[in-house]
Amino acid sequence: MALFGKPKYTIVRLKKREIPDGLWTKCEECSEVLFNKTLDENLKVCPKCGFHFTLTAMERINQLIDKDSFTEYDKDMLSSDPLEFTAIKSYKDKLAQDQAATGLKDAVITGEGLIDGKKAVIGVTDSAFIMGSMGSVVGEKLTRAIETAIKKKLPVVIVSGSGGGARMYEGMLSLMQMAKTCAALRKLHEHKLVFISVLTNPTMGGVMASFAGIGDVIIAEPKALIGFAGPRVIEGTIRQKLPVGFQRSEFLLDHGMIDMITSRKNLKPQLKLLIEYLS
């Protein structure tokens, strides 16, 4: 009967362990759950399958440009609303929304800096800002950056990531940026200065059909979607099944549309090497 003479036990209920948000990311390709710190140290490339996560424009600049060497161009340039465009929401509201979400004024950052000690002009589009689409500001900033490169006799590197192509909110004013950026790059070529185009996932539409597709050297990240219209649109138009991997970097390399595929960790030394050889 000693059992009943023992003091009463206190039942302790343990609280469920709380795991802070933002510590883990699931890979979109292989579904591996990755510790964010490890992912950042690996330049946001999945260590298991090699999937390249989307980067912001500033993240790319920090990866490619030597520390404390970047000088930004035209950072206060803003889009207007020439057509007073309104659909589900107005163009002004969409601009304000994406400016607040990304901290950018528009979908591109341009400037100059050192790539492993080699001075270059760089432009990087950001797919988080209206899908990296090209409007008047994107076209103007890239054109001015190219013109500055001509004056300073510097190579140009443009990193493209655009799922939106030319920006419908600006109509013809957006489409004319395709011709304007290509004309500026033609002048760069006439001055025997190199233009290296880096394509990331996705690079589509008017961006791919203009400046992104006419580099002296065209580099793509692995498995990036690259083209004009998307695969579903093409299949619906021609009513045929597309080949496996159609419009991915590897398919385009096999068919001579790009020059090389370079993983993110090798991109900076690859750019330095190309600038040394071609400048």
Q: Is residue 11 part of a domain?
A: no
Same-domain check for residues 162 and 119: yes
Judge whether 219 and 267 are in contact, CB under 8 Å: yes
Same-domain check for residues 130 and 264: yes
Same-domain check for residues 195 and 110: yes
Output DSSP code: residue 14: P
User: What is the tens place of the pLDDT at every residue in 177-193?
Assistant: 999 999 999 999 999 99
d(CA 193, CA 31): 43
Q: Which of 53, 77, 94 is the last residue of a domain?
A: 53
Beta strands (DSSP E) in the chain are: 24-26, 33-35, 71-73, 108-115, 118-125, 156-162, 195-203, 217-220, 260-261
Percent residues over pLDDT 70 in the chain: 92
Give the C-alpha distances (Å, rounded to integers) separating 250 from 48, 176, 215, 225, 278: 19, 31, 18, 10, 24
Same-domain check for residues 122 and 30: no
Q: Which of 53, 70, 94 is the last residue of a domain?
A: 53
Same-domain check for residues 248 and 154: yes
Query: What pLDDT is recorded for position 77?
Result: 96
Same-domain check for residues 28 and 160: no
pTM for the model: 0.89
> 3-class SS at 45?
strand
Q: Is residue 236 part of a domain?
A: yes
Same-domain check for residues 33 and 102: no
Environment class of residue 136 by beta-carbon count within 10 Å: exposed (0-12), middle (13-18) or buried (19+)?
A: buried
Q: Is residue 96 part of a domain?
A: yes
Same-domain check for residues 63 and 160: yes
- Mean pLDDT is lowest, of 68-77, 154-163, 233-242, 262-271, for 233-242
Same-domain check for residues 45 and 169: no
Judge whether 162 and 203 are in contact, CB under 8 Å: yes
Best CA proximity match to 139, nearest among 79, 228, 54: 79
| Domain with 267 in it | 54-278
Same-domain check for residues 238 and 135: yes
Give the C-alpha distances (Å, rounded to integers) separating 6 from 9, 10, 12, 218: 9, 12, 18, 80
| Other C-beta atoms lying within 10 Å of the C-beta of residue 2 | 5
User: What is the tens place of the pLDDT at every residue in 82-139?
Assistant: 999 998 899 999 999 999 999 999 999 999 999 999 999 999 999 999 999 999 999 9
Residue identified by tokens 């080949």 is 243
User: What is the tens place of the pLDDT at every residue in 190-232?
Assistant: 999 999 999 999 999 999 999 999 999 999 999 999 999 888 8
- Mean pLDDT is lowest, of 5-19, 70-84, 167-181, for 5-19
pLDDT bin (cut points 50, 70, 90) of residue 254 is: very high
d(CA 151, CA 84): 36
Same-domain check for residues 174 and 135: yes
Total number of domains constituting the chain: 2
Q: Report the C-alpha dihedral over residues 96, 132, 128, 34, rounded to 10 degrees.
A: -170
The domain that contains 203 carries what CATH number?
3.90.226.10
Same-domain check for residues 62 and 87: yes
